[in-house]
Homo-oligomer: A and B are copies of this chain.
């Protein structure tokens, strides 16, 4: 398959955007990416979104957004893999460009979640779990993650405060990201005193929802070889793997096998090892997921993920910087958009556009987007060349 580059990026601030409709938010990111790419048309649109049928009563989001941005008579389709929808949409666009069938694609992740009175967001998010065998029993999505975190703490002997560095790091980095939802430095004390959501997950273990959209324009890499002024960012690897839908079906509920598989395939495809990864935008929907993702991708031994936080290895100056723009925890988590925010942020790092949270000399970055409780995991490795 031919190599594909990311020519342009765009994003909106993640916030309560009550003054803007779903299409306006998506359009804002789409136009920003096209402007950044310097193009005024593309061959196709791929939209990552999870909740618009449930929250907005809107299906057919590909055509919905294509129509709004004036992209008529082109392909436009929606991809859904729960909270992994964004990266899944990128992968669909990547396949179409890589196949040679189209020459450019706009990929947009968009979600509007905060102002829908009468809709229960917790119930809508539970649609990522197994409706017949998990949700029917009354368990919410945060509830499932709480069970996993509790078991992890028991199994490996960690206490709740050991997870604080994940949250503190994301919050510290988000302060320098104008698109982040939360701009509030937190401390260990604040972390420990935060309100409980589902024991042991408290408010500062959990990422906030939000309204937002992020977008990228992708084209065959050979077409941007001559682009001057900034490094060319290519998609060096892309892999999608799945686990059982329900956590209770897994032989080992504390190991993200789909993260392991998709990362392994990406390392092979990109021809890199874990030591080559300069920045890792992981899916810290809950602090436990940071630990599990780092372990499954090879950055920590089993049960030792929190150690990387306690040793300051995850900060911008650390051995494996994560969530350098605030992660899901502080940048915010508009679910179907998150995967594209992660890609946009890795591109920013590889272009050297991250200011205070720039990772020195970043050349290779990884993004990992998770749908459900580890059920659908999509990993990408980007390279600056």
Contact = CB atoms under 8 A, between A and B. Distances in A.
Nearest to A377: B63
Give the size category of A's interface with B: 35 or more
Contact of A57 (B61, B131, B257, B372): B131
Given A64-B245, A79-B79, A50 B59 contact: yes
A48 to B, nearest CB: 10
A82 B21 CA distance: 20
A78 interface: yes
Given A67-B245, A245-B67, A371 B79 contact: no
Report copies per complex: 2
Interface string A233-257: 0000011111111100100000001
Interface of A: 1, 21, 23, 44, 50-51, 53-54, 56-64, 66-67, 71-82, 84, 88, 91-92, 95-96, 98-101, 123, 126-128, 130-132, 135, 238-246, 249, 257-258, 261, 371-372, 375-376
A305 to B, nearest CB: 21
Contacts of A56: 131
Contacts of A131: 56-58
Contact of A242 (B51, B67, B80, B84): B67
12 contacts: A1-B99, A1-B101, A51-B53, A53-B53, A53-B127, A60-B245, A63-B376, A64-B245, A72-B243, A73-B241, A75-B240, A92-B95
A75 B241 contact: yes
Given A54-B54, A95-B101, A99-B1, A132 B21 contact: yes
Nearest to A261: B73
Nearest to A257: B73
Given A131-B58, A241-B75, A242-B74, A63 B99 contact: no
